[in-house]
Amino acid sequence: MLRFLGQINLRIFGISAVRAFIQGKKNNGFFSQYKMKVQTVFKGSRNYRSLKRMKKRIFFTPSNPLHCGIHISSHKHYIISGIAEKNLPFSDSCMYISDWPESVEERRALGAVLQSYSKNCECRVDAILV
């Protein structure tokens, strides 16, 4: 049975997109922790720009895909977007996550996506059906 729960407007602040090398994964109950080395910051607040300087960082995602958790492989490069929750980097399947393209053509196409992404930081949910 579907129920209409009304209109919700959300603004998501502090969204960041980075190119990162995933160094490892650790399960921590409900959340998985991925250790990453940030190589490029495509979009982010000043706090996220410091990610690049910090060299090594951990981000969190739900462990279970049913809770929008993601699974990515270690020792690979990814484009990862996320938000800060309680000053911790967090990402899930609703965020933009992609393998780092190997070819120049794929990188150009990705550049267009990231350019569009950087201009659109507002999320709006008009209806929730349950």
Mean pLDDT in order along the chain per 10 residues (130 residues): 36 62 88 86 60 64 85 87 74 80 70 58 43
What is the domain range of residue 95? 15-103
pLDDT of residue 5: 37
Q: Could you give the number of structural domains in the chain? A: 1
| Assigned domain for 125 exists | no
| Assigned domain for 87 exists | yes
CATH assignment of the domain containing 33: 2.40.50.120
CA separation, residue 75 to residues 24, 33, 100, 125 (Å): 7, 15, 12, 35
pTM, two decimal places:
0.62
| Assigned domain for 5 exists | no
pLDDT of residue 9: 32
What is the torsional sign of CA 22, 24, 28, 29?
A: positive
pLDDT of residue 10: 33
End-to-end CA, the chain: 7
Other C-beta atoms within 10 Å of 92: how many? 16
Q: Which helix (H) or strand (E) holds 116?
A: helix 104-119
| Assigned domain for 9 exists | no
How, if at all, do strands 31-43 and 56-62 pair? antiparallel
In contact, 130 and 5? CB cutoff 8 Å = yes
pLDDT of residue 8: 35
